[in-house]
Amino acid sequence: MDFRPLDAWLERAVGEGRLPGAVALVARGGEVVYGRALGHLDPGKGLPMREDAIFRIYSMTKPWVSALALTFVEEGLLSLRDPLEKYLPEFEGLKVGREVGEEVVLEPLGRPILVYDLLRHTAGFTYGVFFRSPVKRLYLEAGVDRFDLSREEFLGRLTALPLRFQPGEAFEYGLSTDVLGHLLEAMAGKSLAELLNERVFSPLGMWDSGFVAQDPTRLAQPFSRDPETGRSIRLIPVEAEPPRYAGGLGGVSTAWDYLRFLEALRTGRGFLHKSLCRLLVQDHLGPLYEAGLRRGLEYTPGPGYGFGLGVAVRLGPGGLAPGSPGDFYWWGFAGTYFLVDPALELSALLFTQAPNLLSVLEPERALHSRLGQRLGLAFRTLVYGALS
């Protein structure tokens, strides 16, 4: 294995000021074959990066909550066919906002939202901050994407908004995992933080994972200003308990902790039965993938990828970077990325804190960004190149 090209790429990204610092890990068959920490933990203070740095992982919190939900399914306490309103009755009577030009025309639900819809992002919930549409504008105006809302404020604002699609009609990446986390809290009578610690983190020895950076001196920091837009960078505060446990974006972890989680999913050993691990990483979109392609890339997890129960799943040959049918990946807005290729017994992670602000502030220019998903594609290509 030759990881010199990966080393050179990482050093160039840090040296050119695109990344403040990074931690990268690659494992084959459960053995770490590459590990590198470089650049700065805190560029403002000049502190060097460390292997045990704690990162805000944003959407990479979602696979945690998906796996947590399946632990309840495994025990027969939860069914994927359970309606959302069984646990959170305030979601009964939602409307769908059919977009007609710039107008939003309300229509009744065709069927209830199921737990299954929350896991595969077919519930109809959206995000206001990514892309543009009339329903997304309502989300922005309501401020439902904000991180500083209490659980009650979040649920109150969200239940007053229409869905963008009928449940089961389309893949629509959005607030579904946040809702799933609050459903699990209501069902179990414990906080999402407690549930994850009891059922996922403690069994796997993930001592630095959660919703609070227990050692702020190890918290990785971004540049003060985005190198692409010049705008100030503000990431979610994780030094103290949050106003609510946001299952879709609130987590922190180290690369080593997250590797333990990925290896547990890959092998089916650690906290969840192998059959449920396989269920999580299989495609669950089916024909919705082709329908999404016809609408545009906004409606798919990426070229060549369907979606499982919290991760993107490779459908077959093709795509924008090397891989195997059945490999799965996900990423976080602040610059974290992982991939798992079960056929090659491969797990790999790149953790940095360099959000792609173009995707939010200037989405028409996002394809020109050298950050965001492009980082993951380059990292993936170099990892596979090293293996061959």
Which are the catalytic amino acids? 59
**Angle between helices 176-188 and 151-159 in degrees, nearest 10:** 120
Measured between alpha carbons, how far is 378 from 339 in angstroms, rounded to an integer? 12
Burial class of 153 by CB neighbour count within 10 A (0 to 12, 13 to 18, 19+) = middle
Task: List CB contacts of 92: < 8 A, sequence separation 6 or more.
Answer: 85, 112
State the sign of the Cα–Cα–Cα–Cα dihedral 280, 286, 288, 292: positive
Tokens representing 27 are 């494992």
Task: List CB contacts of 223: < 8 A, sequence separation 6 or more.
Answer: 17, 20, 43, 233, 354
Measured between alpha carbons, how far is 132 from 243 in angstroms, rounded to an integer? 27
SS3 276: helix
What is the number of other CB atoms lying within 10 angstroms of the CB of residue 275? Answer: 10
SS3 348: strand
Eight-class DSSP state of 111: S
Task: List CB contacts of 239: < 8 A, sequence separation 6 or more.
Answer: 212, 213, 216, 219
- Give ∠ CA 149-154-159 in degrees, rounded to 5: 160
What is the number of other CB atoms lying within 10 angstroms of the CB of residue 49? Answer: 22
What is the number of other CB atoms lying within 10 angstroms of the CB of residue 189? Answer: 8
